[in-house]
Structures are given as C-alpha cells and as structure tokens.
Amino acid sequence: MAPRPILIDTDPGQDDAVAILLALAARDTLDVLGLTCVAGNVPLEKTALNARRICDLAGRPDLPVCAGCDRPMGRALVTAEHVHGQSGLDGPDLPAPQMPLHPAHAVDFLIDTLRAYPPGTVTLIALGPLTNLATAFGRAPDITGRLREIVLMGGAQAALGNVTPVAEFNIHVDPTAADIVLRAGVPVVMVPLDVTHKALVTPARNAALRALGTPVGHAVADLTGFFERYNPVRYGAEGAPLHDPCTIAWLLRPDLFASRHVNVTVETQSDLTLGMTVMDWWGISDRAPNTTVLHDIDADGFFDLLTERLATL
C-alpha cells in the first residue's frame, strides 16, 4: 500500500518538533507533502524558523515549509514562551536552518496541494491553532470535500484546561478558527489533553531516546527534557506530556488509543469559558456526532513506537 499523503500544520514548539520527526521517520507509511506554519506557541517568524530547523535535522531540506497566518481571527495572539522558551525550541542547540522558506503563503499551499490530489486522499495534521485551516476553508470551500480527515491536537474533556480553567491552548488561541473547522463537515479526530496528559516523558523514557546515540535521538531527548515543561503537581508524575506526537502515533498505531464518536462544539462568546470544547459525551443533545475523540492511550506502547521509529532517522 502506498504511504498516506499528509500535510502538517504546526507551530513548533518542542512537542511539534517531535511529531514532525516521527512523521518523517515513518516514510513507509506516511508521505509528508509539506509543513505549513502558524503563530501559536511562539510568533510566526519563529515557528517558520523552527520547522526548518527540524527538517534540516531530519535530513529533509527538500520539504516545503510555508509561513501562514501571523495572528488569530479577530483577537490578539496568545503565545506560550513560558512553556517552550523564547525560541520555542529551547533545550537542544540546533543550528540555523540552511533550507529556505517556501515562497507560497501557507493558506495558498494548503489549497493548491489539496486540489492537486484526488478527493479523499490527503490527511491534514493540525498541531497548533487552526487559523490556517479555517482561513483556507473560507477562501476555498471546495477543499473541505477533498480532505480524507483532519487529525488535530487540541481540546479537553475531563482534563479541563491548561491555559484557562476549561480551555486547551491551541483551541483557546483561536476559538473562532476551531469552530469553523469543526463545523466544516470534514471527518475530525481530536487528540485532547485527556490523552496527552497520559503520554508523559519520564526520566526513563527520556533516557531511552538519548540512548539512540544519534543526532536526532540527542535532540529529541533535549527537547522532551526541557525543564520548563515539567509540572509534577499538575501531572502527578516526574514527567511532562508529549502532546503533538500522539496525532502521528494514531495514524501509525490506532490500536494504541481508545476513542468515542461524539459531537464537539467550541465556545466562542463567553469571557469565562472562551475556547472550551463542549463534548456531548453521553449523547444528551440533539447535535449529531462530528468528531472522533481519543480518550485513552497505551503510553508504554506509544513511547516504544516513538523510540523505534526515531531510531531510523
């Protein structure tokens, strides 16, 4: 079977970087068509820079990397340097990228790429705020029917929020965009905090990555060991969640996850609950299910997969 074509929309971010590397390490299964960058964890200039640093590390300077939207729809940008450091990739000492930025705007690249492939073949992986996706859907509504599915890291149910009491960061940064994407009629797989808070990088898991003894292994160990990401009071363990790579792991090994198909809507009006993902877990409303929500993970299996795949880069 031919590798599944995927596009990765991203705002690197340590965990974004690991997700990109995992996807690039799965060339037998995934065909990465390009990276589109959005403002999120850090401003757009840094996310576009970081994406190219990761491609260089992986030996993929041929991959198109496009800069996209530099702010959310209708509100000021919220960033997360307090988590990721001022560069967004604090931890490893990665050199400046040698590869150039692709000249196309990320939104144009998404539209053109989706139109170039047969309908129902390309999967879109969204690792940051959904501004690029929502902008592309508004500009070219026909592309929603061309997507196979969207797999996004974002939202929360029982885990509640990590940037407000009820909102997860990616959704909170641009709730309008998230609302547009969830209403677009594209099949969506959501990887919320309920799953990613169980995928913790413990010292033993970090050591296994470093023991690969490769430039990628050392860089990933530095990325996942960056001390500002640890919060044992919140996560109840000596470790930090590895959010974004769970999206790629689901493509490679869906058997590692448990899921439920439910209706998900996004709060876009309330100052108190802005960006909350309201999940109709028990089918109480009359709203039709629109999202496959992952809610559990085999964490040991996930880290075994991550380590085995990264060993090939």
By annotation, the residues acting in catalysis are 243
**3-state DSSP assignment of residue 247:** helix
Cα atoms in the 13 Å half-sphere on the side-chain side of 208: 15
CA angle (148 as vertex; 265, 53 as ends), nearest 5:
90
- Comparing C-alpha atoms, which of 188, 234, 225, 182 is closest to residue 206? 225
Report d(CA 29, CA 215) in Å as an integer.
23
The angle that helices 14-24 and 299-310 make with each other, rounded to 10 degrees, is 60
Give the total residue count for the chain: 313
CA angle (280 as vertex; 277, 282 as ends), nearest 5:
145
Instruction: Determine contact, residues 239/201, Cβ cutoff 8 Å.
Output: yes
Alpha carbon 65 to its chain centroid, in Å, reads: 15
The answer for residues whose C-beta is within 8 angstroms of residue 53's C-beta and 6 or more apart is: 89, 94, 95, 96, 97
**3-state DSSP assignment of residue 313:** coil
Strands (E), 165-303: 188-191, 200-201, 240-241, 257-262, 264-266, 277-279, 291-297
Match 């530099």 to its residue by tokens.
70
- Comparing C-alpha atoms, which of 21, 214, 7 is closest to residue 102? 7
